[in-house]
């Protein structure tokens, strides 16, 4: 894949995320993909990934996604890192906490390896601290500036 093709793929991926289109998201993954997720543990295969998106969107309905940064490396296996800010509404159970209706904003980073125009491996990172603070699970004082 060229850098332009990877960028087009990432645009489709982000659009599917924004619209919470589980079928379109699933189509972005290889049949035998591996996804490492802090919420869902290690997922193997496209159907497990689709189920994780279904469960995620039942808990946190996406309102808006802002793309913050993209890095594409095509020097070996095609890899990309996507960093975005996701604004959601807490509409279902998450971490054992029932829906609160609160607006949640979190930073998300996906580290992707692409093969044959699909994601073969993905590592997800989330800003859990700020998410849990917004949900009221954690309380913290602002940091000090020196």
52-108: pLDDT as tens digits: 999 999 999 989 999 999 999 988 899 999 999 999 999 999 878 899 999 999 999
Say if residue 146's pLDDT is above 80. no
**For residue 11, what are its two tokens?**
């645009």
pLDDT greater than 90 at residue 137: no
Q: How confident is the model at residue 142 (pLDDT cuts 50, 70, 90)?
A: low
User: Residue 124: pLDDT above 70?
Assistant: yes
Fold annotation for 3-135? Nuclear Transport Factor 2; Chain: A, (3.10.450)
- Three-state SS at 4: helix
First vs last C-alpha separation in the chain: 46
How deeply is 33 buried, as exposed, middle or buried, from its count of CB atoms within 10 A (0-12, 13-18, 19+)? Answer: buried
Reported as a single tens digit per residue, the pLDDT across 17-61 is 999 999 999 999 999 999 999 888 999 999 999 999 999 999 999
Strands ordered across the beta sheet of 103-115: 41-44, 29-37, 118-126, 103-115, 78-90, 60-73
Check whether 144 has a pLDDT greater than 70: no
Q: Which two tokens stand for residue 107?
A: 């930073």
Structure token digits, residue 74: 């095509």
What is the Cα–Cα distance from 136 to 112, expressed in whole angstroms? Answer: 31
The predicted pLDDT at position 143 comes to 60
Element (H, E) at 70: strand 60-73
| Tokens coding 56 | 């995620």
pLDDT value of residue 131: 85
């Amino acid at each position: 894949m060229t850098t332009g093709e990877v960028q087009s793929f990432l645009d489709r991926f982000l659009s599917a995320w924004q619209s919470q289109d589980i079928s379109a998201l699933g189509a972005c993954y290889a049949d035998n993909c591996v996804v490492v997720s802090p919420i869902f543990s290690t997922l193997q295969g496209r159907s497990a990934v689709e189920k994780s998106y279904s469960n995620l969107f039942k808990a946190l309905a996406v309102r808006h996604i802002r793309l913050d940064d993209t890095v594409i490396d095509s020097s070996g296996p095609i890899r990309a890192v996507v960093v975005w800010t996701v604004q959601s509404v807490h509409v279902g159970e998450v971490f054992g906490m029932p829906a609160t209706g609160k607006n949640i904003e979190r930073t998300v980073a996906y580290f992707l390896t692409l093969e044959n125009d699909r994601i073969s491996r993905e590592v997800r990172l989330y800003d859990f601290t700020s998410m849990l603070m917004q949900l009221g699970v954690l309380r913290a004082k602002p940091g000090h500036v020196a």
